[in-house]
Structure 1
């Protein structure tokens, strides 16, 4: 019963949680952690859950033949939205500039809603649109502490490079495993990301070299279990966090 409720209320996209948490944790640890970071991460995760259910409501409302299919997302969307309001208001009162950051994320959320409505959530553009605000949490979390723009732009760029690369790579492992075009696009992207990483930091170059290697090797191994693909990404995401904090802290 509990597992059924959790499946209904929590998204099954496990890879999204690393993208939601790693940039936030990096930003928090690059600055001075404070109780406000706990409020921020709660609001961030609850906001993500509210947006997820709203997008699923849009998708099913337009595309499902069952007129009641969308209604199962109504209550979760309402509950998570209500849960977002108190911490959201408290954060804006504490740091009014956070409202500007939230407004800046709205165009990307609108793109995600559009693709959900079109039933094209697996689109490459939709995935990349989700990466930007997630990585934007790094400077937000850092500036909520005592971080500065000069300190955070490099780790933010590194996060963008890494998580943007996961979008075409994962497609080469699942939905586009037979597409030569996607494989080449993924390989070329990771090669370019490695060049940028070399400029940013030797330690990042090692990590992005590993990312390039997995982007080249994993798709040619044949069918790899999704659990294995996810486990590799968890390890690389945590490795990114482990590199960013000491290098830029």
Structure 2
């Protein structure tokens, strides 16, 4: 594994979930220079938590002490930079402490799943979706918007990314388990109805997501192709959220 691969998480699907809600919240409000350090802190918090979770998992499970040890330097480095950038931001905007406190329980659950070596569990993935989508509200609040202003967009993100977690499992790790296929289709049908009540324009994307949940599993798509489709859908989601602003 390359040095970059050891420092930067290879969970490619997580990056869209980190970027899209934050970007939506930023541009649904009034972007300011403070969004840049907040975004840096947001990404640093993710990679710091990732290395912490890998450290506790491997320290418990691996017989090779180097397996857990290789996460120590990234954990300390990213954590230190997070503190350097984040503390001044908290001084400038103390209400961000509430956002941090709200995210910690979800991070704790993810860490517990890592400790038990069950990171790929469906519940663990769904738990991670909540603070990621909550970043929309955090970024919007920083830009002068209210939580109520972003509630519908945040709900749409939650519905979309929760569906992505379920769909990707039905496509890859659980592709031989029909319950995941049926569950994914049922979920996306319900999500489509919910989004129709929010904004009929957004429902165009969710209708496509329902079709891809029903017809793509079992087609033998490569993992890269699955990822590219999800990245494209995430980009469309962001465009729809921003296009409906105002």
> For residues 246 and 96 of structure 1, what CA distance do their matches in structure 2 show?
31
What residue number does 1:214 align with? 212
Which residue of the other structure, out of 36, 39, 51, is the alignment partner of 1:38?
A: 36
1:236 aligns with 2:233: yes
C-alpha root-mean-square deviation of aligned residues, in Å?
A: 0.9
1:93 aligns with one of 88, 91, 94 = 91
Verify the 8 A CA contact 1:109 1:130 in the aligned structure 2.
Answer: yes
Q: Does residue 225 of structure 1 match 2:219?
A: no
2:145 aligns to what? 147
Q: 2:171·2:218 contact (CA, 8 Å) conserved in 1?
A: no
1: CA distance between counterparts of 2:159 and 2:243? 19
User: Quick check: 1:155–1:248 contact (8 Å CA) kept in 2?
Assistant: no
Number of matched pairs: 246
Give runs of ≥4 in structure 1 deviating > 3 Å: none
1:78-227 correspondence runs (5 A): 78-221=76-219, 223-227=220-224
SS in 1 for 2:58: helix
Counterparts of 2:159 and 2:88, CA distance in 1: 32
Structure 2: stretches of 5+ with no match in the other structure: none
> How far did 1:150 drift?
2.4
The alignment's TM-score, normalised by the length of structure 1, stands at: 0.97
Partners of 2:9 and 2:37 lie apart in 1 by 21
For the residue of structure 1 that corresponds to 2:221, the secondary structure is coil
Gaps (5+ residues) in structure 1? none
| Aligned-residue offset at 1:151 | 1.4
Deviations 1:93-139 (A, max 9, x none): 11111001100101100000000000000001100111000000001
TM-score norm. by structure 2 comes to 0.98
- Give the drift of 1:67: 2.4
